[in-house]
Amino acid sequence: MPYLLKEIRGAGGTIDVPRLGVPIAEMANWVLVRRGEEEVLGGDRTTSEANFFDLRAVLARVTEGIFRDPDYVKRVILVLKGQKYLVTQAPGQRTALTGHSLVMEKVEIAKWQP
């Protein structure tokens, strides 16, 4: 069985609104924590929570009004070792912004090609 990372840490990333074409937040640092760790040990990974992470980030700056506006679709990009990764969140999951702290539950990442 291949090894799965429980946690990934990085510095740098952005949140933007593609329709506006400008970043609305910049990340100082972030951590992805894998969900469903107990399922990794012998469970079915095709339907497992282990395919998802929870994202916690500290934002260096954020335009809160636009971030909180549900009419704007946001795109979250993480930077790790010079590569960019798109963050997608499972439907109906919690996103919380408290000051400059961001939490997004049940997300997946994939390499991003602009």
Model's pTM, two decimal places? Answer: 0.86
Per-residue pLDDT tens digits for 9-60? 999 999 999 999 999 999 999 999 998 755 445 555 555 677 899 999 999 9
* 31: nearest Cα among 13, 15, 8, 14: 8
With cut-offs at 50, 70 and 90, classify the pLDDT of residue 108.
very high
* 49: nearest Cα among 60, 33, 65: 33
Phi, psi (deg, nearest 5) at residue 64: -60, -40
In 10-79, where does DSSP find H-type helix?
37-40, 64-68
Please, are residues 34 and 51 in contact by the beta-carbon 8 Å criterion? no
Q: How many CB atoms lie within 10 A of CB 76?
A: 24
Domain ranges of the chain: 7-111
